């Protein structure tokens, strides 16, 4: 059960500007290129330290508590945040059995639920079906701060069809990590660009990072085109964007192919979903038309947009498929972000 937001529009996100400490993370618009680069460096350091079993890491968030508040389904975001906090030496809490067993079930609104959680945790990771729900949480956590002098922060784990900032950070980190640079890339986003929050955040983050000679191509059915608000943001950042319904126009030249799931649960009309459900399926035959140096990304979960299980198995064995790297990088990126917002790392 979810209730309407009250004051989301009154919260203005703070630019990071080199200092993450105590800042709510609600949109990629908060990040400047230096902020992203410092997160990428930190995530790479976290990876090295975790992979070599470095015990020094466990102290970074010692004594800190992270709460997860997930009003929508999640595997990777929820568990990678939890694993990230545990690997930093912090503690993790959530309502037993998920939010359906919290007071939300009794009709409590987000403003109250988030303030209750904010009384117990230093950081609240929120996933919620309403666009800008994390803004609402940030607004009310700031009010709590005024009353109690505590300073819990919210980190968005996905706001409905709006944004998914930490996914975009891990995606861009993965691209930079594999490609060695963000310059001179043709990045193609495919599928449900209307309802897919990961592509909204990723396209904006790429534009915000700025890169020499990097361009975006958007491939989707007419009815699932990138929303006008994201398009005008990209225009304001001066990045070249090409929109088409024909993957074959761009696949051969793409350095990054970012595939997405058609967001079945977001369609107001079932018939609209059914009309396009079987379009935009990536199979080994599709990847045969891509270049050898291309990478195939997907935020996951995947359904039939990656064909059958047999197709999955072939694609998974293709060196160009990097969605498992994305998954692993998710934890390292979230470790980096948590350490920074909690002031454990500059
Ligand atoms: N896991 C991603 C998200 O939460 C992508 C998806 O669900 O398709 O937005």
Check pLDDT > 80 for residue 234: yes
Same domain for 262 and 192, yes or no, is: yes
Which of the 8 DSSP states describes residue 13? P
Q: Supply the pLDDT for residue 3.
A: 65
Give yes or no: 151 in active site.
Answer: no
Number of domains in the chain: 2
Same domain for 179 and 297, yes or no, is: yes
Q: Which helix (H) or strand (E) holds 323?
A: helix 323-341
Same domain for 156 and 169, yes or no, is: no
Give yes or no: 76 in active site.
Answer: yes
Spatial contact of 125 and 68, defined as CB atoms under 8 Å apart = yes
Q: Which domain holds residue 65?
A: 28-163+329-341
Check pLDDT > 80 for residue 194: yes
Same domain for 40 and 91, yes or no, is: yes
Q: Supply the pLDDT for residue 100.
A: 73
**CA atoms of 290 and 330, how far apart (whole Å):** 26
Same domain for 184 and 283, yes or no, is: yes
Spatial contact of 182 and 152, defined as CB atoms under 8 Å apart = no
Place of tokens 């020499």: 212
Q: Percent of the chain, pLDDT > 90?
A: 89
Check pLDDT > 90 for residue 2: no
Give yes or no: 106 in active site.
Answer: yes
Q: Which of 52, 106, 147, 270 is catalytic?
A: 106
Atom 8 of ligand 1, residue of closest alpha carbon: 261
pTM: 0.96
Atom 4 of ligand 1, residue of closest alpha carbon: 158
3-class DSSP assignment, residue 139? helix
Q: How far is the CA of 71 from the centre of ligand 1 (A)?
A: 13
Q: How far is the CA of 146 from the centre of ligand 1 (A)?
A: 34
Read off the CATH number of the domain in which 269 is found. 3.40.50.1370
- Describe the crossing of helices 33-51 and 323-341 by its angle, rounded to 10 degrees: 110
Q: How far is the CA of 108 from the centre of ligand 1 (A)?
A: 26
Arithmetic mean of pLDDT over the chain: 95
Q: How far is the CA of 300 from the centre of ligand 1 (A)?
A: 6
**CA atoms of 70 and 91, how far apart (whole Å):** 17
Give yes or no: 174 in active site.
Answer: no
**CA atoms of 280 and 201, how far apart (whole Å):** 21
Same domain for 144 and 272, yes or no, is: no
Question: Where does ligand 1 bind, in terms of residues with CB under 6 Å?
Answer: 158, 164, 197-198, 261, 299
Per-residue pLDDT tens over the stretch 32-42: 999 999 999 99
Spatial contact of 322 and 329, defined as CB atoms under 8 Å apart = no
Q: Which of 115, 164, 261, 340 is catalytic?
A: 164
Check pLDDT > 80 for residue 56: no
Same domain for 336 and 294, yes or no, is: no
Sign of CA dihedral 261, 267, 271, 272: negative
Give yes or no: 52 in active site.
Answer: no
Look at 59-68, 78-87, 92-101, 314-323 and tell me which has the smallest mean pLDDT: 92-101
Check pLDDT > 70 for residue 46: yes
H helices present in 267-345, as ranges: 270-276, 284-287, 309-317, 323-341
Q: Which of 2, 21, 45, 76 is catalytic?
A: 76
Same domain for 140 and 67, yes or no, is: yes
Spatial contact of 247 and 280, defined as CB atoms under 8 Å apart = yes
Same domain for 233 and 292, yes or no, is: yes
Query: Among 72, 80, 197, which residue has the most ligand 1 atoms within 8 Å of its CB, making it the best to mutate?
Result: 197
Domain membership of residue 12 (yes or no) is: no
């Amino acid at each position: 059960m979810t209730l309407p937001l009250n004051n989301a529009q009154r919260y203005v996100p703070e630019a990071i500007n080199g200092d993450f400490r105590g800042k709510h993370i609600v949109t990629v618009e908060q990040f400047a290129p230096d902020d992203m680069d410092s997160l990428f460096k930190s995530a790479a350091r976290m990876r090295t330290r975790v992979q070599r079993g470095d015990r020094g890491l466990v102290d970074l968030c010692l004594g800190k508590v992270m709460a997860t508040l997930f009003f929508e389904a999640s595997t990777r975001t929820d568990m990678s945040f939890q694993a990230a906090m545990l690997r930093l030496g912090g503690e993790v809490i959530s309502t037993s059995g998920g939010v359906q067993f919290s007071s939300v079930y009794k009709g409590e609104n987000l403003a109250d639920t988030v303030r209750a959680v904010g009384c117990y945790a230093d950081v609240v990771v929120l996933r919620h079906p309403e666009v800008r729900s994390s803004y609402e949480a940030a607004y009310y956590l700031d009010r709590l701060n005024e009353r109690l002098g505590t300073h819990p922060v919210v980190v968005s784990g996905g706001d409905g069809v709006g944004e998914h900032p930490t996914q975009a950070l891990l995606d861009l980190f993965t691209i930079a990590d594999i490609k060695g640079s963000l310059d001179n890339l043709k990045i193609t986003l495919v599928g449900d660009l209307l309802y897919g929050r990961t592509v909204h955040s990723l396209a904006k983050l790429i534009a915000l990072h700025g890169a020499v000679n990097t361009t975006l191509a958007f491939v989707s059915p007419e009815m699932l085109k990138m929303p006008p608000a994201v398009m005008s943001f990209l225009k304001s950042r001066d990045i070249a964007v090409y929109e088409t319904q024909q993957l074959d126009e761009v696949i051969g030249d793409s350095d990054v192919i970012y595939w997405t799931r058609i967001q079945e649960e977001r369609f107001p009309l079932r018939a609209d979903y059914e009309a396009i459900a079987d379009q935009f399926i990536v199979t080994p035959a599709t990847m045969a038309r891509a270049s050898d140096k291309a990478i195939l990304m997907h935020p996951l979960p995947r359904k039939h947009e990656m064909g059958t299980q047999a197709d999955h198995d072939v694609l998974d064995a293709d060196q160009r498929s990097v969605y498992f790297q994305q998954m692993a990088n998710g934890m390292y990126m979230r470790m980096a972000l948590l350490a920074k917002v909690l002031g454990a790392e500059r």
